[in-house]
Amino acid sequence: MFISLEGIDGSGKSTQARVLADALRGEGRDVVLTREPGGAPGAEEIRKLLVEGATDRWSAETEILLFTAARRDHLERTIRPAIDAGKIVITDRFADSTRVYQGATRGDLRALVDGIHDLAIGVEPDLTLILDMDPEIALSRGLARDSGEDRFEEFGLGFQRALREGFQGLARRHPARCRLINANDNPEVVANRILTATLAALR
């Protein structure tokens, strides 16, 4: 089973991905927890190019190519081998992030994103958990971390609002694989919603 977690910056995905991985391991499942951009040594090198530096460092089109290059490496080196070995893969972000961050916020580049995805990646998760939350709360959390990886947070609140709408639209268009999770509540409540949705999909 291949699971992705998606959401705007500061939505708590990374924490929730870890909590979900631990909960499934507690049930005796073999879980690989990974992330994008990154998740394999080469892809982690590409990550640095993407998340650090000025907001105008890359055009959206160049970003699509870099994220896709990183994703291809992640797929070849980490995701496919784990799935072939019968493990559950949980990735903190996957192609839906490119659809929304690059495809729907700075002009309409969805056709380019979808074309490159079909040619170079061609797989979708079995289950996509979209953490839906108020961008004002999420943004204050994201920047407060001051991780040095704030390039996308620095696009600002309007950008995060457009991202939220983009993710909500994906959930509506792909109801078979996407679950919209209300992430405005405290982390334990959100974790329970995520675990319930995941166990239902695993059955």
Distance, in Å, from the CA atom of 157 to the CA atom of 145, rounded to the nearest integer, reads 16
**Closest listed residue to residue 8, CA positions, set 94, 100, 127:** 100
CB 15 within 8 A of CB 136: no
Span interacting with ligand TYD, options 9-17, 75-83, 131-139, 179-187, rule CB under 6 A: 9-17
CB 104 within 8 A of CB 166: yes
> How many CB atoms are located within 10 Å of the residue 69 CB?
16
Residue 105 within binding range of ligand TYD, rule CB under 6 A:
no
Among 19, 79, 82, 92, binds ligand TYD (CB under 6 A): 92
| Stretch of residues binding ligand TYD (CB under 6 A), selected from 72-80, 89-97, 130-138, 193-201 | 89-97
DSSP-derived secondary structure for 20-34: HHHHHHHTT--EEEE
Taking the complex as a whole, the smallest distance from the CB of residue 179 to ligand TYD amounts, in Å, to 18
Residue 168 binds to ligand TYD (criterion: CB under 6 A): no
Binder among 51, 83, 123, 202 for ligand TYD (CB under 6 A): 51
Q: Which residues bind ligand TYD (CB under 6 A)?
A: 9, 13-14, 36-37, 51, 67, 92-93, 97-98, 101-102, 142, 152
